[in-house]
Amino acid sequence: MIAAGVKRCMQKMTGPSQRALAVADLILSEALERIAPSPTVVVSQKARDLKAKGFDVIALAAGEPDFPTPKPIADAGVEAIRAGKTGYTAVDGIPELKAAVAAKFERDNGLSYDPQTEVVVTPGGKYVIYTALMATLRPGDEVIIPAPYWVSYPSMVELADGTPVIVETKEEDGFCLDAAALEAAITPKTRWLILNSPSNPTGAVLTQQHLRAIADVLQRHPHVWVLTDDIYEHVVFDTPFETLLGVEPGLKDRTLTMNGASKAYSMTGWRIGYGAGPKRLIDPMRTLISQSISCPSSISQWAVVAALEGDHSFLAERNAAFRARRDFMLDVFDKAPGITCAKPEGAFYLYPSVKGLIGGEINGRALKTDIDVAEALLEQEHVALVPGTAFGLAPYLRLSYAASMDELEEAAARITRFCEAVDRRG
């Protein structure tokens, strides 16, 4: 009856409003048509599906620390709930957290920001990037993204109607952006460069010298803004963390420095990130936040105040665990036939090359791309890694070693068995 009524009604109408009434006819926005679900999420889902079918799957695909949120931080969240700090907050964060963020930038990075006008708190660092791009890009504007990149950068640029300009890095350069390649990619339409160090997916850390060379290029192109994604700042091994503005303060009036609580404090689900930059950028970002999500979670904000102001000694312990896992897996890749891996200096990822497996086959299945390798590894040995194609540089796999040593040992045995089983003559 209802369907017949709708049909009759539609017969009288014309144009898109009529189509909107048809239940099955969902018209997607042009922006959404430009993007696809994150490949890391797709692989994790595939792994979950296999697990649900009873397979013993080791998923090394997710980008989150496997440590719990430290208790004093979690307690601060509980305390906020008990104290009734559960209402909407200021759009860009509670003053206490903005002050703690400004103090963090001063303490860790030597950067001074006015917490009132130059700091913004958002639900996750991802939303800092998203709002910055949404607030500034017009159709055809270009954003330079070094590859391999975090999967969300190009999609967010495309959602904002911009054009990602991918500049590949090379394994032999330690996956660090080459200054000459950057300069060659800059056009009058370039609006942003996105820098991410330590990097997801390679773990590469930009040194002072790298950043100096990049800063020199940027100084020759004053129309280009820079977004530095410093979310893995606290997960570094032997190379010290440096942010661009620490090396070249002269870029401050066109740099957005982004960071957050997810990786440093194992707070991925609390969803708190922060950015600092010039008021002329932070103001429009605040407008976007107010009209999209109103504010970040009040409870999470109070927990992050405790995180930023509390004891940080657990970071060294956790980094020691990450380092041991990195070294263990590097040794595995060193020995497994067909795989080689550069030694990363930060984050919790390895980005091994599978060039030596391409052209081979396993159980009659041809391995033509890193996607084939990742799929075959998942199907044959139930180990989930993400193909490098998803990050814009193939043929590689990304392995997240934010997993227990027991899991890594089992994964190592399976990966080695897989590589040995590949007929590499093709």
In the complex, what is the shortest distance from the CB of residue 150 to ligand PLP, in angstroms, rounded to a whole number?
4
Can you tell me the distance from the alpha carbon of 374 to that of 309, in angstroms, rounded to the nearest whole number? Answer: 42
Give whichever of 346 and 395 is closer to ligand PLP, judged by the CB atom. Answer: 346
Quick one: 336 exposed, middle or buried, by C-beta within 10 A (0-12, 13-18, 19+)? buried
Give whichever of 376 and 403 is closer to ligand PLP, judged by the CB atom. Answer: 403
In the complex, what is the shortest distance from the CB of residue 391 to ligand PLP, in angstroms, rounded to a whole number?
10
In the complex, what is the shortest distance from the CB of residue 260 to ligand PLP, in angstroms, rounded to a whole number?
4
Nearest to 43 by CA among 407, 375, 391, 389: 375
Nearest to 152 by CA among 181, 124, 185: 124
Give whichever of 198 and 360 is closer to ligand PLP, judged by the CB atom. Answer: 198
In the complex, what is the shortest distance from the CB of residue 96 to ligand PLP, in angstroms, rounded to a whole number?
19
In the complex, what is the shortest distance from the CB of residue 200 to ligand PLP, in angstroms, rounded to a whole number?
4
Give whichever of 210 and 398 is closer to ligand PLP, judged by the CB atom. Answer: 398
In the complex, what is the shortest distance from the CB of residue 217 to ligand PLP, in angstroms, rounded to a whole number?
22
Give whichever of 169 and 412 is closer to ligand PLP, judged by the CB atom. Answer: 169
In the complex, what is the shortest distance from the CB of residue 232 to ligand PLP, in angstroms, rounded to a whole number?
7
In the complex, what is the shortest distance from the CB of residue 314 to ligand PLP, in angstroms, rounded to a whole number?
19
Give whichever of 347 and 378 is closer to ligand PLP, judged by the CB atom. Answer: 347
Instruction: Write out the two tokens for 101.
Output: 């963020």
Angle value at C-alpha 233, between 232 and 239, nearest 5 degrees: 110
DSSP secondary structure of 259-299 = EESTTTTT-GGG--EEEE--HHHHHHHHHHHHHHT-S--HH
CB contact at 8 A, 290 and 265:
no
In the complex, what is the shortest distance from the CB of residue 372 to ligand PLP, in angstroms, rounded to a whole number?
25
Bond prior to 395 in cis (omega within 30° of 0) = yes
Instruction: Write out the two tokens for 75.
Output: 């307690």
Sorted by sequence, the CB contacts under 8 Å of residue 291 that are 6+ apart come out as none
In the complex, what is the shortest distance from the CB of residue 58 to ligand PLP, in angstroms, rounded to a whole number?
20
Give whichever of 159 and 422 is closer to ligand PLP, judged by the CB atom. Answer: 159
Return the residue nearest ligand PLP (CB atom): 124
Instruction: Write out the two tokens for 419.
Output: 């590589």
Which residues contribute to the site for ligand PLP (CB under 6 A)? Answer: 63, 124-126, 150, 196, 200, 229, 231, 260, 262, 268, 273
Q: Could you list the beta-strand ranges (E) of 254-396.
A: 255-260, 273-276, 349-350, 361-362, 365-366, 383-384, 386-387
Give whichever of 125 and 277 is closer to ligand PLP, judged by the CB atom. Answer: 125
Q: How far apart are the first and last CA of the chain?
A: 61
Give whichever of 63 and 164 is closer to ligand PLP, judged by the CB atom. Answer: 63
Q: What b-and-e string marks burial along 206-219, b requiring 16 or more CB atoms within 10 Å of the CB?
A: bbeebbebbbebbe
Can you tell me the distance from the alpha carbon of 119 to that of 358, in angstroms, rounded to the nearest whole number? Answer: 47
Residue 155 φ then ψ, to 5° = -65, -40
Give whichever of 229 and 381 is closer to ligand PLP, judged by the CB atom. Answer: 229
